[in-house]
Structure 1
Amino acid sequence: MVVLVNTRCRFALLLLAAFSCFSLKLCSGGEDTITFSAPVKDSETLLSKNGVFRFGFFTPVNSTAGLRYVGIWYDKSPAQTVVWVANKDAPVNDISGVVSISEDGNLVVKDGRNRLLWSTNITSTMAPNATLVQLMNTGNLRLQDSRSNGEILWESFKHPHNSLLPGMTLGTKNENLKLTSWRSYVDPSTGNYTAGLSPFAYPELLIWKNNAPIWRSGPWNGQVFIGLPDVDGFSLSNDYQGTASLSYGNDSFMFHLDPDGVLYQREYSRASTRGLNTATCDAYGKCGPFASCSSRELPPCNCVKGFAPRNQAEWDDGNWSNGCVRIVSFRCKKENNVSSNRGKGDGFLRLQKMKVPVSAERSLANEKDCATQCLENCSCTAYAYVQGIGCMVWSGNLVDMQSFLPSGIDLYIRIAHSEKRHNYVAIVICVAFVAAAFLLLACQKFKKRSAPESRRRPELMFNRMEPATSENESPYTFKPNEFPLFEFQVLAKATDHFSHRNKLGQGGFGPVYKGKLPEGQEIAVKRLSRASGQGLEELMNEVVVISKLQHRNLVRVLGCCIEGEERLLVYEYMPNKSLDAYLFDPTKQKILDWKTRFNIMEGISRGLLYLHRDSRLRIIHRDLKASNILLDDNLNPKISDFGLARVFEANEDAAETRRVVGTYGYMSPEYAMEGYFSEKSDVFSLGVIFLEIISGRRNSHKEENNLNLLAYAWNLWNDGEAASLANPIVFDECFEKEIAKCVQIGLLCVQQLANDRPNVSNVIWMLTTENAHLPEAKQPAFIARREVSVAGSSDRSSQMVTINDASLTAITGR
């Protein structure tokens, strides 16, 4: 009898659940439209077809008021991430609200007493049954004609709130689309902050508080905003008539303006966030006119050369807002509208790596005439010429300058003739230093030459040292004065004189130390060992290459130091160190679950694609390995160590070298044996890394029957057991199909013949496309670590290889 009662109860509960799911669109999860006959009540929601976005009523997290708003949010984000709100200033006080299509064809929000709280407010003569609302896969809510033409009458993307999603556009005129913050974290009503494009001659992102600017990104240079070098995905169109539009197209990220005026870049799938305007020098006009802000210095504000604090006492107290004033006036003056002196004695002070001041004026002058035009205009106080922008000039005060940016540009500030003389000694010293460095480098190169220079393919340091003009200058051009130089004493103090407790690791070319600059910025300092094969050439090669690249999956080099016999590189600090520290350490392997490992493989691939195809340079890394993949706070991968990288011309696909560099176990067979390298050489290394990430084992480690990792993976694949290669710590039957696919991709990358390997774009496509049809892999190259004899290569003048991450350079006789 009890069993019968329990059975009936369970049956009743099932019926109740079925009825609930039938009545609530939340349960059905497949409906993404609203029609006149099918409104959305408070208990119901829409779900986009891809399952990413949900639309309906919500109450903000942690809110105690119980007010109900209609909005769009990410359905599966760890925390409620609302990206758009309809009735932000008119909430519903209870759960009686309804979203429906009105008699005039508009989408409306009403409460239980039928009071209108919000409407799309379009003027239309359509009947209510002629329109429908659909939640798109992009998160865009569209009101459209339900008939065959499908005309879009209104869309949420044209009425943004606090979030910029991929596919959205911000603009300056006509629609004047901006983001608007919430009033507080529990109140979606209109807040105090807005973000959008500036109406300046050169568009840039701005954040305003009550219409007063509090942050700016710096102007768009055709690729990135100068103050946001590592934020990709933007595209901007500009008619130079005051109308510009900014679109965002990176599907992995969105931007969110929070109630405190901070613009965050968020990766919704992993709930990782990064504030774009949280640094000290990001505050608009922090240092006042004619002063530059640097996060590397204490105090951060300094008057430009030739200027002094307007009020010294305030300046000493840390109140820099009044800025600086010119010490010596221009010689250029106008009397009776006639120039008595065209500023012949005036000159310019060059400031490097700058976020240029606000309110640049547009000039049509070319690079050669840009300075002349500024000198001939007595109101001109500065100029800059930037590829992708052109000639920029400034009049009056120079406000909101910031120095030492990775993508900063050269700014030329007008100074009087007497100030030019004051700078002469410093200029002579700088020129002498650069000349001495190049002389030392040339001598070292001459000593190592094994053939006349005309018969040798020069390395990166020497193939672009000729002067470049605006007409022939290319992104490969080497300009040593573009790169920040650190004093040795500063780096020594930052690392506690390279103490052992600050040592992060030992690379092939020397130890790496953690350091902290005076202003608190954490850095990593690579101190090149005198015994290593790497010297000034490789160090400068790395600075040249990485300083011209900006991508979220590439590590940033902040500068270098060359003093006496010291050679040091300064990187951004990666708190989680390198990938190999997790893969091959039994105590840390479990930190990298399968989803994290998959994201790391995709991130490395995207960084490599940028190197090969998407950056201004075409670069072959030549030393891609697990120890050269660094991990940030969120375990996102960043490719590092570009000392051995090679730049290709636009029409080059491959090259040969007599100097084989790299790490056995990761080197492709054609490169290790013949010195022949191409993009496919890096793809081979990528495949080895994939198999190491999946298995948690080094390629150099011997598996069953004395096989290396590639051979072991190949045997498992042929036996139909590819997924068993996965580290048992991360193996899950839910991911078995995906693991097997990644093993196959890794094997495709390590095939013997370079032409059989996929390029990186195909690797990314195979990784990210479900049910992709992958080609069958051919037998990989099985190269034992000692099969390639360094001393036995009679046709090489020298080879540099890395065995177990230790550098070895062998010079052979001719």
Structure 2
Amino acid sequence: MSFLRHLPHLVFLYIILSSFLFAPGKPATSRDSDVLDKGRNITDGDTLVSGGGTFTLGFFSPAGGVPSKRYLGIWFSFSPDAVYWVANGDHPLNDTSGVLVMSDAGSLVLLDSSGRKEVWSSGSTSSPASGARLLESGNLVVYGQDSGTALWQSFDHPCNTLLPGMKIGKNLWTGAHWYVVSWRSATDPAPGSYRYVTDTFGGLPENVILDGNNTEKYRTGPWNGKRFSGVPEMASFADMFTYQLTVSPSEVTYSYAAKPGAPYSRVVVTEAGVVQRLVWDTSTRAWKTFFKAPRDDCDGYAKCGAFGLCDSNKGATSLCSCVRGFSPVTPSEWLMREYSGGCRRNVALDCSNRSRTIVNTSDGFEVRRGVKLPDTKDASVDMSVSTLDECRSRCLANCSCMAYAAADIGTGSGCITWTRPFLDLRLVDDGQDFYQRLARSEIVEQGNTTKHKVGAMS
């Protein structure tokens, strides 16, 4: 009877002890809502919210997907479907009992329902961590014990979205790449078939979309000092965003920043391989598409082959034509609108008929205005050239040079020269000037109608 009299007290004591021994930890919402400290966790239903309330980290299931498949992600608080980062995209949880913890080793760890299997981890850090914070920029950062050193950050591991402050490109010291990768489908956030990268392989940097075979699907055109030459729309965004192309001994990267008062923005690569710049319209509470690419058939890489020019305004007849002085390699294929075979020169250049070192030549140049510059992978770039006239002289003195253009349209400096067949030339609104080498006879013929002089720069 004595035992029974004390039983309620024993049960109460057992409950108290159990709460300490078996509880998974305090939910993140019990203290600062944007901080995850050691000894705390996030379970399904709990969240971290950035200091200004713009971004939320938690568990979700994609709209239209399988509700039981749960992912840890970060989204815009005012637009929950706009998920821009996912931890376990290729390893979904099968129920709502997953938990995110800060391990003793100082890394973020996502555990499954058993509490033992590691589904995802931010990885080991170089020094002890004090905790993680979701910043108002949308960046999830693991901090060192001094709270000033970032040991790991989600911005270094993009998913399908590029936010202001993030970057894509390459670390030239470590070889690390940053790129945006599409979801596998609208309901499956596993890495998909398309990547949006900053191409650093020769020439001038530009952004490209690569498919699952690492084949170029679309390119923005090279950076021209202000924007990418094939994306004139960037000029219309200049009052909202600043663009940064960094070329240094340590990295080649592209990023953008929002100006004060600018609306929320994101750059997304869809599961279909389309890159979109989306801007939040507060009046309609919807994302507006400010730009997308590929925008038309002319944006398909090398649509018209070597020495071809693509004009989307001529789609009813023929998208492709050969630049002046060239004709289709296989006319029968062009009649069937198969242009990939490209074009070949009609008349040999004067320079090619003489000594390869001769400087005095009757060859000249035609200017093609308003274009996306051709691919520069096989081109030569010299940023020390100070004027376009000097660039022209260099090209004219090199018998292998087929075309040239300014590398920086703001100053007219820098020199790009093409010594191999150029690819992926297209017309765009407010595009750049491109100077193509022609033989004397072709310039004279042109001069009959335009009064251009032989050898003169158009």
Same-fold call, TM cutoff 0.5: yes
Contact 1:331 1:343 in 2 (8 A): no
- Listed one character per residue, the Cα deviations across residues 33-52 of structure 1 (whole Å, up to 9, x for unaligned) are 11221110122111112111
Alignment correspondent of 2:138:
139
Does 2:260 align with 1:259? no
Alignment CA distance shift 1:348-1:34 (3 Å)? same
Which whole-Å CA distance do the structure 1 matches of 2:73 and 2:153 have between them? 13
Q: For 2:117, give the aligned amino acid.
A: R
Which whole-Å CA distance do the structure 2 matches of 1:425 and 1:29 have between them? 80
How far residue 274 of structure 1 moved from its aligned partner, in angstroms, is 3.6
Alignment CA distance shift 1:376-1:340 (3 Å)? closer
Partner SS state of residue 371, structure 1: helix
Which fold has the larger relative contact order, with Cα–Cα distance below 8 Å and residues 6 or more apart in sequence?
2
Alignment correspondent of 2:167:
169
- Listed one character per residue, the Cα deviations across residues 360-384 of structure 1 (whole Å, up to 9, x for unaligned) are 4212333222112112212211101
Which whole-Å CA distance do the structure 2 matches of 1:207 and 1:315 have between them? 26
Which whole-Å CA distance do the structure 1 matches of 2:249 and 2:135 have between them? 33
* Aligned counterpart in structure 2 of residue 284 of structure 1, from 293, 301, 304: 301
Q: Which has the larger radius of gyration?
A: 1
Does 2:287 align with 1:271? yes
How far residue 89 of structure 1 moved from its aligned partner, in angstroms, is 1.6
Which whole-Å CA distance do the structure 1 matches of 2:350 and 2:31 have between them? 73
Q: For 1:72, give the aligned amino acid.
A: I
Which whole-Å CA distance do the structure 2 matches of 1:224 and 1:294 have between them? 21
How far residue 183 of structure 1 moved from its aligned partner, in angstroms, is 1.0
Alignment CA distance shift 1:304-1:97 (3 Å)? same
Alignment correspondent of 2:15:
none
Alignment CA distance shift 1:136-1:188 (3 Å)? same
Q: For 1:218, give the aligned amino acid.
A: G
Which whole-Å CA distance do the structure 2 matches of 1:238 and 1:48 have between them? 28
Alignment correspondent of 2:327:
308
* Aligned counterpart in structure 1 of residue 450 of structure 2, from 413, 427, 436: 427
Within 5 Å, which residues of 2 pair with 1:289-300? Answer: 289-298=306-315, 299-300=318-319
- Listed one character per residue, the Cα deviations across residues 75-123 of structure 1 (whole Å, up to 9, x for unaligned) are 112x601101111121112112111111211101111122111111133
Which whole-Å CA distance do the structure 2 matches of 1:62 and 1:325 have between them? 51
Alignment correspondent of 2:220:
217
Alignment CA distance shift 1:286-1:29 (3 Å)? farther
Quick check: which one's helix share is greater?
1
Does 2:88 align with 1:87? yes
Alignment CA distance shift 1:390-1:242 (3 Å)? farther
How far residue 240 of structure 1 moved from its aligned partner, in angstroms, is 6.2
Within 5 Å, which residues of 2 pair with 1:324-335? Answer: 324-333=343-352
RMSD: 2.4
How far residue 206 of structure 1 moved from its aligned partner, in angstroms, is 1.3
Alignment CA distance shift 1:125-1:412 (3 Å)? closer
Which whole-Å CA distance do the structure 2 matches of 1:310 and 1:44 have between them? 64
How far residue 25 of structure 1 moved from its aligned partner, in angstroms, is 6.4
Within 5 Å, which residues of 2 pair with 1:744-763? Answer: none
Q: For 1:345, give the aligned amino acid.
A: S
Partner SS state of residue 81, structure 2: coil
Does 2:238 align with 1:235? no
Within 5 Å, which residues of 2 pair with 1:35-114? Answer: 35-64=37-66, 66-77=68-79, 80-113=81-114, 114=116
Alignment correspondent of 2:16:
none
How far residue 195 of structure 1 moved from its aligned partner, in angstroms, is 0.8
Q: For 1:216, give the aligned amino acid.
A: R
298-307 or 195-204, which deviates more: 195-204
* Aligned counterpart in structure 2 of residue 374 of structure 1, from 395, 400, 418: 395
- Listed one character per residue, the Cα deviations across residues 205-242 of structure 1 (whole Å, up to 9, x for unaligned) are 21111321111112222222222222232422443668
Contact 1:160 1:177 in 2 (8 A): yes
How far residue 65 of structure 1 moved from its aligned partner, in angstroms, is 6.4
Q: For 1:377, give the aligned amino acid.
A: N
Alignment correspondent of 1:117:
119
Alignment correspondent of 2:426:
402
Alignment CA distance shift 1:125-1:68 (3 Å)? same
Alignment correspondent of 2:338:
319
Contact 1:50 1:137 in 2 (8 A): yes
Quick check: which one's strand share is greater?
2
Q: For 1:212, give the aligned amino acid.
A: T
Does 2:158 align with 1:160? yes
Which whole-Å CA distance do the structure 1 matches of 2:188 and 2:360 have between them? 57
Which whole-Å CA distance do the structure 1 matches of 2:146 and 2:251 have between them? 33
How far residue 288 of structure 1 moved from its aligned partner, in angstroms, is 1.2
Contact 2:107 2:121 in 1 (8 A): yes
How far residue 342 of structure 1 moved from its aligned partner, in angstroms, is 4.2
Alignment correspondent of 1:198:
199
How far residue 305 of structure 1 moved from its aligned partner, in angstroms, is 0.9
- Listed one character per residue, the Cα deviations across residues 545-579 of structure 1 (whole Å, up to 9, x for unaligned) are xxxxxxxxxxxxxxxxxxxxxxxxxxxxxxxxxxx
Which whole-Å CA distance do the structure 2 matches of 1:406 and 1:45 have between them? 46
Which whole-Å CA distance do the structure 2 matches of 1:320 and 1:180 have between them? 30
Alignment correspondent of 1:181:
182
Which aligned runs of 4 or more in structure 1 are off by greater than 4 angstroms? 23-26, 340-343
Partner SS state of residue 423, structure 1: helix
Within 5 Å, which residues of 2 pair with 1:232-631? Answer: 232=237, 233-239=241-247, 243-250=251-258, 251-252=262-263, 253-269=265-281, 270-277=286-293, 278-298=295-315, 299-333=318-352, 339=356, 341-342=358-359, 344-359=361-376, 360-363=379-382, 364-365=384-385, 366-385=387-406, 386-388=408-410, 390-403=414-427, 405-428=428-451
Contact 1:122 1:153 in 2 (8 A): no
How far residue 149 of structure 1 moved from its aligned partner, in angstroms, is 4.3
Which whole-Å CA distance do the structure 1 matches of 2:356 and 2:289 have between them? 55
Which whole-Å CA distance do the structure 2 matches of 1:29 and 1:401 have between them? 57
Which whole-Å CA distance do the structure 1 matches of 2:46 and 2:250 have between them? 44
| Structure 2: stretches of 5+ with no match in the other structure | 1-25
Which whole-Å CA distance do the structure 2 matches of 1:86 and 1:222 have between them? 35
- Listed one character per residue, the Cα deviations across residues 591-633 of structure 1 (whole Å, up to 9, x for unaligned) are xxxxxxxxxxxxxxxxxxxxxxxxxxxxxxxxxxxxxxxxxxx
Which whole-Å CA distance do the structure 2 matches of 1:263 and 1:318 have between them? 26
Q: For 1:55, give the aligned amino acid.
A: L
Q: For 2:141, give the aligned amino acid.
A: R
Alignment CA distance shift 1:45-1:343 (3 Å)? farther
Contact 1:236 1:244 in 2 (8 A): no
- Listed one character per residue, the Cα deviations across residues 339-390 of structure 1 (whole Å, up to 9, x for unaligned) are 2654712221211111110114212333222112112212211101243452
How far residue 425 of structure 1 moved from its aligned partner, in angstroms, is 1.6
Alignment CA distance shift 1:29-1:334 (3 Å)? farther
Which whole-Å CA distance do the structure 2 matches of 1:307 and 1:374 have between them? 19
Which whole-Å CA distance do the structure 1 matches of 2:45 and 2:156 have between them? 27
Alignment correspondent of 2:13:
none
Which whole-Å CA distance do the structure 2 matches of 1:291 and 1:243 have between them? 33
How far residue 143 of structure 1 moved from its aligned partner, in angstroms, is 0.6
| Structure 1: stretches of 5+ with no match in the other structure | 1-22, 432-480, 482-814
Which whole-Å CA distance do the structure 1 matches of 2:307 and 2:168 have between them? 31
Contact 2:107 2:122 in 1 (8 A): yes
Q: For 1:367, give the aligned amino acid.
A: L
Alignment CA distance shift 1:287-1:325 (3 Å)? same
Contact 1:262 1:275 in 2 (8 A): no
Q: For 1:152, give the aligned amino acid.
A: A
Partner SS state of residue 449, structure 2: helix
Q: How many residues end up aligned between the 2 structures?
A: 400
Which whole-Å CA distance do the structure 2 matches of 1:234 and 1:179 have between them? 19
How far residue 407 of structure 1 moved from its aligned partner, in angstroms, is 2.6
- Listed one character per residue, the Cα deviations across residues 239-269 of structure 1 (whole Å, up to 9, x for unaligned) are 3668322221125211111111111111134
How far residue 201 of structure 1 moved from its aligned partner, in angstroms, is 2.9
Q: Percent identity?
A: 34
